[in-house]
Structure 1
Amino acid sequence: MGEAARVYGPPVLAWVALIGRLVINRGRNAVEARSNRLVLTYLGALAISFTLQAPGTYEAAGDLLGIPNVAKPLSHWTVLIAAWAARNLLLWMREGGEPVRLSWRLRLLVAGSMVGTGVLFALAETPKNDVKFNIFYGHVPLVLEYWLVYLVGLMPALVELARLSWLNLCDAERPAVRLRLWMSTIGVVAITVYHVHKGLFFTAKRFGLPYSDAFSAVMDKYLTLVAFVLVLLSASLPRLRVSGDGAVAGWVHRFVTYQRLTPLWLALYRANPQIALSPPRSPLLDRLDPRDLDLRLYRRVVEIRDGRLALQAYLDPDAVARLREEAVREGKTGHQLDAAVEAAILKAGLRARSAGESPPNGPSHAAIHGGRDLDSDTAFLVEVADAFTATRPVRPWSRSRGGTSTTSG
């Protein structure tokens, strides 16, 4: 099972990333459409390369075309295409403007590498059609030369990829962008190390030099797996420019925000179901549903505010002042103070409503804290919701004591 995952995992992941990109992330203008084509070229070439390297496909390609091991150069040519497409994409991310294209000099370099590897492959004596090509033919004349000509076309792209990934990483500030660029940088460095290792392996086999078979096996099995999985994960995320978040990062942020608001909303809804525009499904399905997050998050914020207004008649002004004093004594300030007080007020108001007790001194008309727009108000309510789930239970207002009391849960 583990070996099958290692061999077939990368091609499956590559095709999933490619199909996902085709389905959910089309460019909205000419520039985005062109940059999206770079990503599709990159992912498509990697998907084809990984598929050709899988044992069954590798042997089937040789049998179908009548050329033993033809999957080897085909796979390497698609890697060349993927590497240079990725380089152009990172360069565009770095410089902005129109997506860049290869210069004629670089096009000739890539074309020369493809033609050279094709000629050397045709001349090399490799009659057995087997995915273990490197083991069987590492010592054969022209195989080392084949690899060196391949590296002539590939290494400049890998060096540029590593450089651009690192430069973009140094400039990036947002966590989502930095995560993607870390994956890209580490993956590209690992791919570069692997190709250098294979060059040393073929050199050792050709000239009878010592080279650890155990070390080579580990590098072949695991370094390529880690490298390409990291590169694929970074590439499968929609475009994340250094200057801002992308579609996936925004969706993840909205999804997490929705989850964090749910406990507070659910408590208010149970106290007053009328705040909901439509009856909710089961809490689990509601939490897991990834659709229409923009609209659902907006409704969640509005419904929490409606639930807060519905509790106004149960809020004791003296208790509100006392709760604020307690929060100040605990060292809270600014938005943290306002959020902690708001959470404690809501919890006490919900318990008072449940117990059917009105505040002894009349309802509170204190100002309701929040943001100035939807985004800032959502951020504030997230703080309130976090504090709501973390605060100690608050008893309803006591008529005999004219205040509030708290008890540990």
Structure 2
Amino acid sequence: MKSLNDILYPIDAAIAGAALLFKLHGMRRGRRDPATVFLCLALFLLACTYTLVIPAVFVKVDALLGTTNAAVLVSQCCVIGYSLSIQLMLVYWAFSGRQAWRRAVWRISIVAVVLAVMVTLFLLAGANEQRVRDFVAHYAGLPIYSVYLLVYLATFLGSRIDVLRLAMRYAPVSGRPWLRRGLYLMCIGASGGLVYVIARIADIIGPRFGADPQRWEVFAQLGAGLGSIFTIIGLTIPSWGIYVTRAGQWMRRYHAYLRLYPLWNALRLASPDIELHKSRSRIVDALALRDLNYRLTRRVVEINDGRLALRPYIRADVGESAARLAQDAGLDDEDLVAAVQAAEIKAALRDKELNREPSLDGSISELDQDGTHDVRTETTRLVKVADAFRVSPVVAAAVTAPAGPQLAGKRS
């Protein structure tokens, strides 16, 4: 009968392997400091751990080594090595030189002794029946194997606590946002390891009170499997998190580029000279993904140029009406200003299209501030104006208000 091992553990192995290849690729580009080396070692050992306990691999490893359940011993030794590697990575992140080595050497010494004890106890345990999916839960009641398991769990628990202590200590003071997030994710992963330890201790104690360890085996598997996934993400996210940031920034710029289109399109149709590169259609424009920064900057500039071209048609009464309506609607600050500017533009476009006489005041709300912002701030401001231009009921109401007396006549 299949278990969670058949699903979750291959996923863990694949994620660890992919993360290892990613980090090795980075090492080829020159970064080979001790922390990175230990990180790669941790990912390699973790990939080995979960590969060995995949049932199909488990059977083949036993046959290759000629010892029943040898895959369990090798896998759990890899877990100890993996845990040690993470500790050493964190040590070399936080310290350097002899200071780091002093903190590393006693950890290495303890693990060497633990591995020797584990191998000895495992060979003496007499676990001769192959148990591909529930080895620990099945054999935890054996006296010698229970001692083996306690040594293993004590070492594993100590490493998880050490990781939690180091990560929680240095995450708040980390200057790199993705490193800080990675350390916190490692804390979540280490917490999953604690769930695994609790479940395995219950495997030892439970049978002595008549309980069946199979009842909570799923918690051990989830604690180990999901905890490892969080740990892998935490270990590698400082390297690839920046790409997530850049992708998010690109998506926000692209979204702004699309949201500016209705306002920009109305202005460039009214004043074709503002458009540097002629647009064939909205669909073609939306699919033009290259040079987005340049295209977005051009759109912002052209919108402001279009507003300037409409200056003779700007009406003070429209702006005043829009401001009153916006206040009545509960708008304030930037949203109010955006509604006023959108109403002025929409009314000016209508008056120009109807060939009405230009206004006598010809001023634009907040116009003197245009050009004083950086592109990012100006883009944010104009997106609000574009949204109000497209859908705001305040803008629609202000534009449909009766025209002032100076607009009563038309050009001949």
TM-score range, shorter chain: 0.7 to 0.9
Who is 1:367 aligned against? 368
- Report the CA distance shift for 1:331/1:268 in structure 2 as closer, same or farther (over 3 A): closer
Who is 1:407 aligned against? none
**Matched letter for residue 203 of structure 2:** F
Who is 1:63 aligned against? 63
- Report the CA distance shift for 1:11/1:299 in structure 2 as closer, same or farther (over 3 A): same
1:255 maps to which of 250, 264, 268: 250
Instruction: Map 1:9-408; keep pairs closer than 5 Å.
Output: 9-22=11-24, 34-91=34-91, 95=94, 100=100, 103-132=104-133, 133-168=135-170, 180-205=182-207, 208-213=208-213, 215-239=215-239, 246-268=241-263, 270-271=265-266, 272=268, 274=275, 286=287, 296-314=292-310, 316-318=314-316, 319-320=318-319, 322-324=321-323, 326-327=325-326, 330=329, 332-342=331-341, 360-361=358-359, 364=363, 366-369=367-370, 372-381=373-382, 391-392=392-393, 394-395=395-396, 401-402=403-404
Who is 2:408 aligned against? none
* Alpha-carbon shift at residue 249 of structure 1 (Å): 4.8
- Report the CA distance shift for 1:183/1:223 in structure 2 as closer, same or farther (over 3 A): same
* Alpha-carbon shift at residue 126 of structure 1 (Å): 2.5
Contact 2:263 2:390 survives alignment (8 Å): no
- Report the CA distance shift for 1:400/1:139 in structure 2 as closer, same or farther (over 3 A): closer
What is the percent sequence identity of the aligned residues? Answer: 21
**Equivalent residue of 2:359, what SS?**
coil
Q: Which moved more, 1:139-148 or 1:375-384?
A: 375-384
Contact 2:20 2:43 survives alignment (8 Å): yes
* Structure 1 unaligned spans of 5+: 241-245, 404-409
**Matched letter for residue 210 of structure 2:** P
TM-score, length of structure 2 as denominator length = 0.74
Contact 2:339 2:394 survives alignment (8 Å): no
* Alpha-carbon shift at residue 107 of structure 1 (Å): 0.9
- Report the CA distance shift for 1:165/1:211 in structure 2 as closer, same or farther (over 3 A): farther
The RMSD of aligned alpha carbons is: 4.3
- Report the CA distance shift for 1:68/1:90 in structure 2 as closer, same or farther (over 3 A): same
Q: Once the two structures are superposed, what CA deviation does each residue of 1:254-311 show, in whole Å capped at 9, x if it has no partner?
A: 1342243133233256444945588799589859x7xx7xx52453233233233234
* Structure 2 unaligned spans of 5+: 270-274, 406-412
Contact 2:178 2:237 survives alignment (8 Å): no
- Report the CA distance shift for 1:110/1:264 in structure 2 as closer, same or farther (over 3 A): same
In 2: Cα distance, 1:29 partner to 1:342 partner: 53
Q: Once the two structures are superposed, what CA deviation does each residue of 1:50-108 show, in whole Å capped at 9, x if it has no partner?
A: 22221112222222232322222222233223323333444566x47789555211111
Q: Once the two structures are superposed, what CA deviation does each residue of 1:341-362 show, in whole Å capped at 9, x if it has no partner?
A: 4555566667778x56678417
In 2: Cα distance, 1:109 partner to 1:217 partner: 29
Who is 1:243 aligned against? none
**Equivalent residue of 2:238, what SS?**
coil
Contact 1:263 1:385 survives alignment (8 Å): no
**Matched letter for residue 63 of structure 1:** A
Q: Once the two structures are superposed, what CA deviation does each residue of 1:6-27 show, in whole Å capped at 9, x if it has no partner?
A: 343222233333334455x569
- Report the CA distance shift for 1:142/1:257 in structure 2 as closer, same or farther (over 3 A): same
Contact 1:352 1:397 survives alignment (8 Å): no
- Report the CA distance shift for 1:42/1:78 in structure 2 as closer, same or farther (over 3 A): same
User: Which structure is higher in helix share?
Assistant: 2
* Alpha-carbon shift at residue 144 of structure 1 (Å): 1.8
**Equivalent residue of 1:401, what SS?**
coil
